[in-house]
């Protein structure tokens, strides 16, 4: 489910490559389709075995009440109803990335979604908390693990009562910065046994992102916005096989493996 609203991005490429590599490694045939949610009000039906909803540009607050959001959340309700129906023994897992994650946090009233004082952009460590210790999608990750973070908004101030009501669990939070008097953002939530989301981009490809940031136009944009040291730091971490590339090879493949475990054939 493409929420990029037609903007150029690396996310779709990375997701396609992860799906194709997963199919090759597992020796299975995967059939997938893409839906343009924000420009065409497109959403999938419930004939698929698993779903991935992408990140995207803009505010996760200003779209409230829009037609595409109405269509999107209607699909979400249908998916929830399917997975909550005991007669449906085969469930349909869904993964929500960045912008999609923010939308669900607002929709379920799980936390405060607000604009950051400044853009978070770079490679950062993420720290799982107790609820995330046994999370199958995080299997194989180191503590902390490193992610690509690119956002102007944040999810903070969790509503623990609401989380208990729907059975949601916080899985990890951003890096602890004791010298900064700001609450740490929530970086991942298990919304239900079949729905999970991350504030960061688990699809990010270290090598591909490094090449992208080395292009003359993008390099200058990062330097103008964040400084040369930020650019150098990102290139260093993106080329480290124990950081972004390692995370990319774990999270979404683990999610797809979970989908395989509940379905005989996989369609994403």
Residue 97 lies inside a defined structural domain of this protein: yes
Is 267 inside a domain boundary?
A: no
Using pLDDT thresholds of 50, 70 and 90, give the confidence band for residue 265: very low
Rounded Cα gap, residues 150 and 33, in angstroms: 26
At 39 the three-state DSSP class reads: helix
Between 128 and 178, residue with greater pLDDT: 128
Confidence of residue 149 (pLDDT cuts 50, 70, 90): confident
Share of the chain above pLDDT 70, in %: 94
CATH of the domain at 194: 3.40.50
Mean pLDDT of 103-119: 92
* Reported confidence tier of residue 143, pLDDT bands at 50, 70, 90: confident
In-domain check, residue 56: yes
CA–CA separation, 262 vs 256, rounded Å?
Answer: 10
pLDDT at 267: 47
H or E element, residue 37: helix 37-40
Cα–Cα dist 165/160, whole Å: 9
pTM (predicted TM-score): 0.90
> Looking at per-residue confidence, does 5 or 149 come out higher?
5
Whole-angstrom distance, CA of residue 148 vs CA of residue 1? 20
Give me the mean pLDDT over the 95-116 stretch. Answer: 96
- pLDDT confidence of residue 158: 95
How many domains are contained in the chain? 1
Q: Are 135 and 161 in contact (CB under 8 A)?
A: no
167-212 confidence digits (pLDDT tens): 999 999 986 554 454 578 999 999 999 999 999 999 998 877 777 7
Whether 229 maps to a domain, the answer reads no
Q: Establish if 233 belongs to a structural domain.
A: no
Average of pLDDT values for 88-107?
96
- Per-chain mean pLDDT for the chain: 89
Q: Which tens digit of pLDDT belongs to each residue from 21-69?
A: 999 999 999 999 999 999 999 999 999 999 999 999 999 999 999 999 9
Q: Is 6 contained in some domain?
A: no
Range of the domain at 109: 11-115+153-205+246-262
55 belongs to a structural domain:
yes
Residue 136 domain-assigned?
Answer: no
132's CB contacts (< 8 A; 6+ apart) are 138, 169, 170, 171, 172, 188, 190
pLDDT at 266 (0 to 100): 43
Secondary structure of 201-262 in the HEC alphabet?
ECCCCHHHHHHHHHCHHHHHHHHHHHCHHHHHHHHHHHCCCCCHHHHHCCHHHHHHHHHHHH
Instruction: Decide if pLDDT at 232 tops 80.
Output: yes
């Amino acid at each position: 489910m493409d929420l990029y609203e037609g903007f150029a991005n690396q996310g779709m490429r990375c997701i396609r490559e992860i799906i194709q590599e997963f199919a090759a490694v597992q020796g299975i045939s995967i059939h997938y389709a893409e839906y343009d949610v924000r420009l065409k009000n497109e959403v999938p039906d419930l004939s698929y075995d698993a779903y991935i909803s992408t990140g995207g540009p803009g505010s996760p607050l200003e779209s409230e009440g829009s037609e595409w959001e109405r269509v999107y959340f209607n699909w979400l309700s249908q998916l929830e109803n399917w997975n909550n129906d005991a007669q449906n023994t085969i469930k349909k897992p869904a993964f929500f990335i960045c912008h999609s994650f923010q939308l669900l946090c607002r929709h379920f009233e799980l936390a405060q979604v607000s604009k950051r004082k400044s853009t978070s952009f770079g490679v950062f460590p993420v720290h799982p908390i107790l609820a995330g210790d046994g999370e199958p999608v995080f299997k194989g990750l180191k503590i902390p693990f490193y992610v690509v973070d690119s956002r102007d908004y944040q999810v903070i101030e969790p509503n623990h009562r609401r989380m208990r009501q729907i059975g949601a669990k916080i899985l990890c939070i951003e890096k602890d910065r004791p010298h900064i008097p700001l609450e740490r953002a929530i970086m991942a939530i298990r919304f239900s046994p079949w729905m999970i989301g991350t504030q960061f981009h688990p699809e990010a490809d270290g090598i591909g992102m490094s090449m992208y940031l080395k292009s003359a136009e993008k390099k200058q944009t990062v330097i103008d916005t964040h400084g040369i040291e930020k650019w150098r730091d990102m290139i260093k971490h993106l080329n480290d096989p124990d950081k972004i590339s390692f995370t990319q090879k774990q999270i979404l493949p683990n999610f797809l493996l979970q989908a395989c475990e509940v379905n005989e054939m996989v369609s994403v």
